[in-house]
Amino acid sequence: MEKKKGQTSLKSSSSAQLHTLEALMALLLVIGVIIYTVQATSLTPLTSSTANAHIESQLQILGQDMLSTLDYAEYGQDSPLKTDILSWNGKYYTWDSNQYRSTSGDNLSNSSTANILKSVAIGRGIAHNVEFAWIEEGGTMRTMPYIYNGEPSDNAVVITKRVLLSDSDFPDKDPTSFRKSSGILDADQSTDFYNLIDVKLTLWRM
């Protein structure tokens, strides 16, 4: 009887060790799955940093396409972007849910820049600002808003395009009225060069 009891005890001990080993293996397997899942999740496009980078990339491409379209001109003609600059009266305009309007109540009409932003940016819920920067006396730069819709977010993108203005761009060869209304002065009165305008388009998601 004692011998049989000893054999039973030995078998029970071996079985318990086997169950313990199986439990440890299962635990290690679960931990491995958890670690793999966490690492894989950090690489998916559902995280905020990856999503923000994707949105910024899309906005950058969209802004470049809009400015490139506005800056295109057939030979011997002014681009729509240059035409908008030459017809600018120095005011800035804000979108009022229906149209671009200045603080004095004027509407921004006959503007290719406003039209493309209205059809492309506003329809997609993209906030936007447009600024003009030019050379002042002494070589300093001055920046003024053309379209202003508030302070950009931290994830805003900025796209720029340079537009050259010459004295020959003015039909009457006298840019005096343009200088008075816009504030953009003739940077070099001894040549046909008038000024170089940096158009800055800022886009961000609302």
In order along its 206 residues, the chain shows pLDDT tens digits of 554 555 555 556 666 667 677 767 776 776 666 656 545 444 444 455 666 788 899 999 999 999 999 999 999 899 999 999 999 999 999 999 999 999 999 999 999 999 999 999 998 999 999 999 999 988 899 999 999 999 999 889 999 999 999 999 987 767 888 999 999 999 998 999 999 999 999 999 87
Q: Cβ–Cβ contacts within 10 Å for residue 81, how many? A: 23
How many other β-carbons are positioned within 10 Å of the β-carbon of residue 15? Answer: 10
CA 55 vs CA 51, 61, 119: distances in Å: 6, 10, 19
pTM for this one? 0.75
